[in-house]
A and B are shown apart, each in its own frame.
Chain A
């Protein structure tokens, strides 16, 4: 609809048309710029003298790899590390669909094996850390939970990961080993969701990794499971088939495996491989 003010103004068709054309052109340019801006930072990467290393790391590695990345950037001037964090399975799917990743670190060997089968890795993956299942409870352990067996109390709301996700598979193994038939109120899609249900007070206990409790910053407390160490999850890392600079990617892998990475991982609650 035309605004009344425009219609009522003295007719200066040529000038108005000029203005319209200008507006139209501006609109098209704005649209093009907008679309270009939406295309993301990847388009601006690779400035002269700078290179970008893209790391795909499992969600549980987010905090500790931020430390590793900062150290790596300090040791390699001109290198910027960009990290994507998601469930390991999602990461492999994304790389399979063409996502640009130089290094892949997953939270279990099963998912890395799938990446290998799909031909997405350039080398044999190396284990760099382990993680053990633990019981997360509210700070101060108000329900007095001391063992896996305590979790079978029907008054307790217990959450765990669903079997198809790595933390669920480990939970199944540990529970089967202990011979405990656990009835959960929810089987979450990720270990982060399990921890969230505990820290938000919706659940009394949750089966998570030791590192999840460590990075909750006091919002949850760990009750260790004696038999869990036998079912520790192994975290593998590998350079991908599409690494832009395979040497740089390999250097990153070595940084994770080396003493600095080892120390950062240890601080975050990860065990040695």
Chain B
């Protein structure tokens, strides 16, 4: 498997590959080609769109920050420690990736909703989460955290622990090893993991609708605004969709255009 130049593939692979690529690229191209360009800027910069865009960027940035802050410790635990149930936990972390978003929303309702698991606790603290911007961020973190944890964990595993062991044997304290050795070596994966979390948060829809509600300026993010705009103004929905597609492409380029980053080599090795 170490061949530098791959031998030719059977003919059918090429044809099926083209179909696969087209099934992804064609819908993206369709949005660009079909958008009603005349009056597009007016729709794009309407107060409702701007408000939704601002809320989306704000909540996605918060969610990405939380994903990094919480995802890094979890990735370190999964990659650098041994504890019972570690494999199970790693599998559980993946679950939000494959859950239908509506189910994620219901799960969150059952956790921090009024009648949820933590409902009585929140009631005592006089804190309502559902229908607030915090609910939007919580929903985004739930669906985005797996991206951050996975990216960081695989980077940690592929980077190995030799430099850390050397530093520790020379007397460096754990916090010094983490700050001076581990984190700098992890920098590219940190960028990738955070950008991916931001992107996934920006696109979050189902869990937000189910869990956070839809209120202009409070919980109605850009995807929810698009969904609502379809009811009355399909053109405006199409233009806003294009905006999200462009942001998504930009973010993916940012996250994956860095060949040679640790997170990347690990994935290629698989």
Contact = CB atoms under 8 A, between A and B. Distances in A.
Interface of A: 1, 28, 87, 89-90, 93, 157, 159, 162, 164-165, 184-189, 193, 197, 200-203
B139 to A, nearest CB: 14
A185 B214 CA distance: 8
Interface in B101-124: 109, 113-115
Query: What 3 pairs between A and B have smallest CB-CB spacing?
Result: A186-B213, A164-B232, A185-B131
A201 B213 contact: no
A189 B231 contact: yes
Chain B interface helix/strand/loop/mixed:
loop
Interface in B20-76: none
Contacts, number: 60
Nearest to B129: A202
Given A162-B214, A164-B231, A189-B209, A200 B113 contact: yes
Contacts of A188: 213-214
A31 to B, nearest CB: 8
A202 B109 contact: yes
B130 interface: yes
A28 B12 contact: yes
Interface in B219-257: 219-220, 224, 227-234
Contacts of B215: 184-187
B115 A186 contact: no
* Residue with the highest number of chain B CB atoms closer than 10 Å, among A159, A184, A186: A186
B128 interface: yes
Nearest to A203: B131
A189 B229 CA distance: 10
Contacts of B228: 162, 164-165, 189
Contacts of A162: 214, 228, 231
Contacts of B219: 186
B27 to A, nearest CB: 14
A157 B128 contact: yes
A214 B224 CA distance: 28
Contacts of A89: 230-232
A164 B228 CA distance: 7
Contact of A187 (B114, B216, B227): B216
B164 to A, nearest CB: 31
* Residue with the highest number of chain A CB atoms closer than 10 Å, among B113, B128, B216, B231: B231
Contacts of A159: 131, 213
24 contacts: A1-B1, A87-B231, A89-B232, A157-B131, A162-B214, A164-B231, A164-B233, A184-B215, A185-B213, A185-B215, A186-B131, A186-B213, A186-B215, A187-B213, A187-B214, A187-B215, A188-B213, A189-B224, A189-B227, A189-B231, A193-B209, A202-B114, A202-B130, A202-B131
A90 B224 CA distance: 15
Nearest to A194: B213
A268 to B, nearest CB: 24
Given A186-B219, A189-B209, A189-B214, 17 more contacts: A87-B231, A90-B230, A157-B131, A162-B228, A162-B231, A164-B232, A185-B213, A187-B213, A187-B215, A188-B214, A189-B231, A193-B209, A197-B213, A201-B115, A202-B113, A202-B114, A202-B130
